[in-house]
């Protein structure tokens, strides 16, 4: 039997505001796009699940290689492994972990703690109950050992999605053409 559930994904580049429109997309249970638009929160369509897609410029994804760890120790080990990669103090970063893979790799999303706190507070203030928050760059996976430039046009800022490596937002240099890394 086909699933009738729906998922609303909303692009979040600033903490939600009742008067600011945001891009959204509604998907069916098979992940097919039903419709999309740009509206204020009160005008978003209803759905069984709501996902906040945090703009790539607000965070980054990294893949860490760690020895197999019990789940209770994973966050502390990830924070320790990230210390020399973070521009801010480790306590200034909100870190979200995916379950550790059998090969020991661990995908980690990193967002400034102050921004994440503002997002959570604004969402609560507007009664937005998110089922999941994910980084925009997590929706554009690249094959291992490759990379992908993601933007609406070459003239607009975007982000690099890298297979099993770091991914983050960048402003593409003017006049620089996309190149095949292989």
Look at 21 and 172; give whichever has higher pLDDT: 21
Measured CA to CA, the distance from residue 50 to residue 124 in angstroms comes to: 14
Parse the chain into domains and list their residue ranges.
7-56+116-139, 60-113
Look at 99 and 163; give whichever has higher pLDDT: 99
For 28-63, how does the pLDDT look when each residue is reduced to its tens digit (9 = 90+)? 999 999 999 999 999 999 999 999 999 988 988 888
For 112-126, how does the pLDDT look when each residue is reduced to its tens digit (9 = 90+)? 899 999 999 999 999
For 123-170, how does the pLDDT look when each residue is reduced to its tens digit (9 = 90+)? 999 999 999 998 888 887 767 777 777 777 777 777 777 665 444 443
Range from 13-17, 81-85, 136-140, 146-150 carrying the lowest mean pLDDT: 146-150
Look at 11 and 173; give whichever has higher pLDDT: 11
Nearest to residue 30, comparing CAs of 58, 65, 59, 2?
2
Residue with tokens 């699940």: 49
Q: Are 160 and 168 in contact (CB under 8 A)?
A: yes
**What pLDDT shows up at residue 3?**
57
DSSP 44: S
**What pLDDT shows up at residue 2?**
52
Report if pTM > 0.75: yes
């Amino acid at each position: 039997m086909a699933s009738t559930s729906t998922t609303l994904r909303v692009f979040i580049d600033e903490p939600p505001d009742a008067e600011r429109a945001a891009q959204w997309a509604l998907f069916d249970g098979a992940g097919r796009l039903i419709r999309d638009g740009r509206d204020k929160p009160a005008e978003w369509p209803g759905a069984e699940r709501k996902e906040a897609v945090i703009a790539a410029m607000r965070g980054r994804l990294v893949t860490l290689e760690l020895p197999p760890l019990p789940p209770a120790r994973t966050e502390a080990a990830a924070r320790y492994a990230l210390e020399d990669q973070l521009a801010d103090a480790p306590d200034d970063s909100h870190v979200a972990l995916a379950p550790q893979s059998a090969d020991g790799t661990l995908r980690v999303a990193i967002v400034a703690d102050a921004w994440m706190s503002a997002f959570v507070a604004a969402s609560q203030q507007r009664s937005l109950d998110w089922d999941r928050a994910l980084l925009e760059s997590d929706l554009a996976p690249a094959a291992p050992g490759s990379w992908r430039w993601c933007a609406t046009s070459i003239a607009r800022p975007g982000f690099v999605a890298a297979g099993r490596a770091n991914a983050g937002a960048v402003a593409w240099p003017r006049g620089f053409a996309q190149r095949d890394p292989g």
